[in-house]
């Protein structure tokens, strides 16, 4: 499967300087030997399954020092992987898939994360990695027989399961990048066929990120042009109840598709985000400034 093979670390791009005690030497040898393909799932869930496989390849040969290194949010790599397992488990519970790890007590992301992290701290990092991958694979297999429009609820937000899974794809992608950057590695991006639906979700979230930030874009429209493999063009009505329509947009934003996805994922400074803006510049800046509103730890 050539598209899935593209997600593995064979294509790792190395930075010029290799820091002392980097996990790169083990990664390139060990991850290739121990990599596991993406779990079988529904076509619309393949972007998520691909990022799980890529993250797992990154983790395959992490050493003891790597697992205890702080990555983001004050979390070590082991705690970060437990966080991913926690959120995957909440989605699994919502759609009737198996939930692994401790029994669900807290049903919000932060509470469930704390429960799973406490559970995994008593286990080895390799056990945590296996727990997370088993949870992700169980979810993928369950999705194979699920209609994409099935409503799923995570953190009180009801949405089609296909959108919830794309949100899991984006978060897994962002956190895999967090872990790779901490180790001075750069993971290859997903294939364009996986980037495009993720970017589509990000575009459709813009009315909600504005509303969550206290701005109502009703009656205004944005032309969003995302460049690079997997990009495209979206005519976005900025009110959550607005119907899609034609006509001249009020503002136009042109940006790199990967950078835009990462902005929605909470990475990057909206104030200095590299984009070409046209039309109502105040509106365009409002869109960019509020874009990360739905991102969380």
Which domains are assigned to the chain?
2-190 (1.20.120.450), 196-294 (3.30.1050.10)
Nearest Cα to Cα of residue 199 among 128, 262, 245:
262
User: Residue 184: which pLDDT band, with cuts at 50, 70 and 90?
Assistant: confident
Q: What is the pLDDT of residues 17-76, one digit of tens each?
A: 344 444 445 555 554 555 678 889 999 999 999 999 999 999 987 888 899 999 999 999
Ranking 231-235, 245-249, 252-256, 262-266 by mean pLDDT, the lowest is 245-249
State the average pLDDT over residues 283-294: 98
| The pLDDT of residue 16 is above 80 | no
Which secondary-structure segment (H or E) carries 246? none
Q: Kindly report the backbone phi and psi dihedral angles of residue 248, in degrees, each rounded to the nearest multiple of 5, phi listed first.
A: -70, 130
pTM (predicted TM-score): 0.89
Nearest Cα to Cα of residue 209 among 292, 265, 92:
292
Give the span between the Cα atoms of 137 and 194, in whole angstroms: 18
User: Residue 132: which pLDDT band, with cuts at 50, 70 and 90?
Assistant: very high
CA dihedral 246, 247, 250, 256 (to 10 degrees): 50
| The pLDDT of residue 15 is above 50 | no
Is residue 42 a contact partner of residue 112, using CB atoms and an 8 Å limit? no
State the average pLDDT over residues 157-173: 98
């Amino acid at each position: 499967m050539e598209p899935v093979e593209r997600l593995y670390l064979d294509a790792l791009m190395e930075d010029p300087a290799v820091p002392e005690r980097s996990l790169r030497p083990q990664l390139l040898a060990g991850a290739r030997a121990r990599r596991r393909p993406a779990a079988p799932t529904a076509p619309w869930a393949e972007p998520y399954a691909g990022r799980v496989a890529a993250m797992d390849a990154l983790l395959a040969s992490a050493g003891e020092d790597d697992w205890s290194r702080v990555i983001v949010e004050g979390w070590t790599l082991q705690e970060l992987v437990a966080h991913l397992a926690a959120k995957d488990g909440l989605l699994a519970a919502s759609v009737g898939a198996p939930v692994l790890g401790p029994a669900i007590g807290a049903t919000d992301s932060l509470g469930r994360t704390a429960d799973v992290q406490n559970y995994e701290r008593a286990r080895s990092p390799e056990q945590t990695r296996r727990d997370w991958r088993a949870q992700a694979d169980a979810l993928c297999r369950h999705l194979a027989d699920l209609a994409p429009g099935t409503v799923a609820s995570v953190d009180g937000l009801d949405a089609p399961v296909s959108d919830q899974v794309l949100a899991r794809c984006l978060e897994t992608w962002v956190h895999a990048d967090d872990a790779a950057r901490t180790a001075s590695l750069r993971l290859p991006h997903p294939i364009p066929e996986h980037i495009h639906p993720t970017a589509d979700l990000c575009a459709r979230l813009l009315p909600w990120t504005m509303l969550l930030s206290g701005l109502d874009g009703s009656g205004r429209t944005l032309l969003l042009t995302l460049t690079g493999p997997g990009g495209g063009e979206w005519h976005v009505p900025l009110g959550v109840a607005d119907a899609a329509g034609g006509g001249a947009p009020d503002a136009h934003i042109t940006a790199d598709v990967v950078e835009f996805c990462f902005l929605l994922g909470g990475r990057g400074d909206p104030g200095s985000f590299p984009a070409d803006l046209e039309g109502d510049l105040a509106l365009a800046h409002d869109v960019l400034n509020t874009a990360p509103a739905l991102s969380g730890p």
